Amino acid sequence: MADAGREMRIYTYPHPVLRQKAGTVEEIDQEIQALVDDMIRTMYAAPGIGLAANQIGKPIRVIVFDVREGNDQRRPRVLINPRIVEEEGEIVYEEACLSVVDFSAEVSRSGRVLVEGVDRHGKPQRIEAEGIAAVCLQHEIDHLDGKLFIDHISSLKRSLYKKRLKKMQKSMG
């Protein structure tokens, strides 16, 4: 049940855990179930449409996501050990990230993806997604590989963001 979790701290750039490549989940035990509940609660509280385990300091291959609009239709999805097996086309989408504070940018990604993994019960999943769902899945799987959406933008935009972030951090003491 999604309400059973607790809210976790979301690590923000440039924390090193965000650059770690996440390890494979070998066994879906009670610890993984509790992590999934915590991730779902944290994602909704943020609020966000997706969250990867390394964003909360756990570098393992688990993502949660819910790309539906509004609060009444919550249907969180869980993918463990997800991988993109097919991709085609292109979409440019204005992305933001719970781990990249106060910044968004247009990112070019595949317009359609086929992702495989297992759900929280170990049942194999094949998700064909396009549009925002495809963007979200690629974004979260990137996290598991130690990549951030800012790695997909120009070095100029990235350096401007880094400068702005340093200024923000200085002003906060």
Q: Which residues are catalytic?
A: 140
Nearest to 144 by CA among 17, 13, 9, 6: 17
CA–CA separation, 69 and 57 (whole Å): 27
CA–CA separation, 173 and 169 (whole Å): 7
Residue 88, token pair as written in the block: 């085609």
Residues belonging to the chain: 173
Give the N- to C-terminal CA distance of the chain in Å, as an integer.
Answer: 40
Distances (CA, A) of 155 to 39, 103, 141, 151: 31, 15, 22, 8
Q: Within 13 Å of residue 107, how many CA atoms lie on the same side as its CB?
A: 24
